[in-house]
Chains A and B, each alone.
Chain A
Amino acid sequence: AQSVTQLGSHVSVSEGALVLLRCNYSSSVPPYLFWYVQYPNQGLQLLLKYTTGATLVKGINGFEAEFKKSETSFHLTKPSAHMSDAAEYFCAVKVGGASCSARQLTFGSGTQLTVLP
């Protein structure tokens, strides 16, 4: 079974500062990795995903993440925070393969990002 750990349930950064949200996963098979953002009273929106190929993945709104197999990590970064980035962020994993259980996403518990003026 796969699992996801997000270190830090709350992260605060100043506007213009680097954003770093941490995600570590465990999976017995090569994973597919995702970052989602959730604004209040809205559904989850995909920021970016890693499936295969290049380990540095660029997403929407200036976010990127790097898949590091040796560290089992998929940390999310953004060089310069904007007030509109304040939201909750979820890391998720899916295992590859043909089994039905390969379709479900396993989420971390989320990180609430606050951006200070």
Chain B
Amino acid sequence: GAGVSQTPSNKVTEKGKYVELRCDPISGHTALYWYRQSLGQGPEFLIYFQGTGAADDSGLPNDRFFAVRPEGSVSTLKIQRTERGDSAVYLCASSQTSGSSSEQFFGPGTRLTVL
């Protein structure tokens, strides 16, 4: 009965480096979402997967951000050439179906700090 898990819980990196953030959704959940939460703000949508494919990546801020879900389960959010403005908590959520009324279950997040 595990929930959504995210690793690492904290990541500190230097400006210009590459980082990968991992999300393990609830088993059997077909939809997976990434959000970014900056200090003092609500989460902002980044990307949504239905199965293996990115159904909506309209929230990705620029081409330094990329996400994959190759087997329709675990997802990795990849950030190239990190900038200080990328510092935030990155949240992952999953839902059983992609229906718009379907509840999204959130993980604890990865806190990314770019020095």
Contacts and interface: CB of A to CB of B under 8 A. Distances in A.
Interface of A: 4, 6, 9, 32, 36, 41-46, 49, 51-52, 90, 92, 94-97, 100-110
Given A102-B100, A103-B48, A90 B56 contact: no
A103 B4 contact: no
Contacts of B104: 46, 105
Interface residues of B, number: 28
B103 interface: yes
Nearest to A49: B103
Interface in B100-115: 100-101, 103-109
25 contacts: A43-B3, A43-B91, A43-B107, A44-B43, A46-B104, A49-B103, A51-B101, A52-B101, A90-B43, A92-B42, A96-B100, A101-B56, A101-B58, A103-B55, A103-B100, A104-B45, A105-B35, A105-B43, A105-B45, A107-B35, A107-B44, A108-B42, A109-B40, A109-B41, A110-B40
A96 B56 CA distance: 15
Contacts of A4: 42
Contacts of A45: 106
